[in-house]
Structure 1
Amino acid sequence: MYGDLGIKLVQHAKRTQNLAHLPPYQAELVRAVTREVRDLNKDVDDLLEPFQGSFDPAEDQAVAYTLLVNHISMRRNKRCLLAYHRTRTDKLEELVWNGADVIDLSGQQVRDGGASGSKGVASGDGSTSSLSPQEEDYVRQYGDLLAAYKGQWTDIDLTGSLEPPRDLFIDVRVLKDAGEIQTEYGAITLTKNSQFYVRQGDVERLIAQGYLQKLS
């Protein structure tokens, strides 16, 4: 039935809103909905072709009703496509603002899903990322735009947490090698499985990016 595939996209979008990560892009489903819109549009053209631009809905009500249903179905599918992509875009922007390495996380998510055999994590098309190529390009450009915007206020971290920290210094564990970083009290080298007692403001971004884990 027309619109069923679009509803599936909306359901995916609704689930995305409640997740901390971004699930795999539903490329096949998006293509199927797009094909349905094109097929409906072709049906409309075929119905109107015999009238040569002189169609009168009052005289051909059956055709008029068919055209109305097709137009409504096309509009519904387009709205579903827009809602799905808008939800994913909002999630991508949120992750970028939080300082997460979105492209690295999306690739890690697919690798972890493939290793565990988890359903719903891999996109099923052999992709090495849960993002579409267009989304990866969008993330890069949005990140560059955000960096340029933040560069106007070098003394303020616009992407930092709005909640004041409970403790100025925290214990952290290194989850993956991050190399040497400069802190207010000197340089430290972050090697996997090492632990440090550091100023929270110096490592907030690394925690958000998944390099460090805050220990309670």
Structure 2
Amino acid sequence: MTALEVAGRALAAESARYAGMGWMRGTSGNLSVVLGRDPLRLAVTVSGRDKGELSMDDVVLVDEHGEAVAEQPFPEKRPSAEAGLHARIAAVSGAGAVVHVHALAPVVAAERWPDGVPLRDLEMLKGFGRSAHDDLVTVPVIANGQDMRALGDAFEAGFAADTPALIVARHGVYVWGDDLRQARHRLECLEWLLRFTVETTLDAGGRGVR
């Protein structure tokens, strides 16, 4: 089995997990793993497919710009339009895997805190790689857009090595780690943290409390 096939199997399994959680509705979301650094190469889930129904073949090899490279076993398949942001995150952060889902809590949190979502003094922060107490974690938020280079510039401008996540306003969240498992654990913990933060800062009338 080739490295791309191994990656495709892992990406399909993770995608099915997230789809089952309601975080990859329709054909939304995309995942990637790094297969090489020099030059940068990533295996990225294909575009336009139900993420709960992917096979090991539903993967595309892309370069540092998120463009499909020439040596493709399935040249008719297209990478996600957001593959360029995956590549930028992997290049800047050194991550081995990047996951992008459309969980609701991060998007709602970004509406409430458009300059960055503050988190602190919650035990679940340990699962996100930060301290549970006396450690202010600010999850960056950037504006949505279709130009992945512009989104990549915005991500890099606010990048902090100890905060492995990025919320794209009115869109979704990116989380990364050394591998797909670590990225998954961080995402699951972050979603809990953001959901808790949103729900506990709403008053009885549904208005955000500052």
* TM-score for both structures, normalised by structure 2: 0.30
* TM-score for both structures, normalised by structure 1: 0.29
| Greater C-alpha Rg | 1
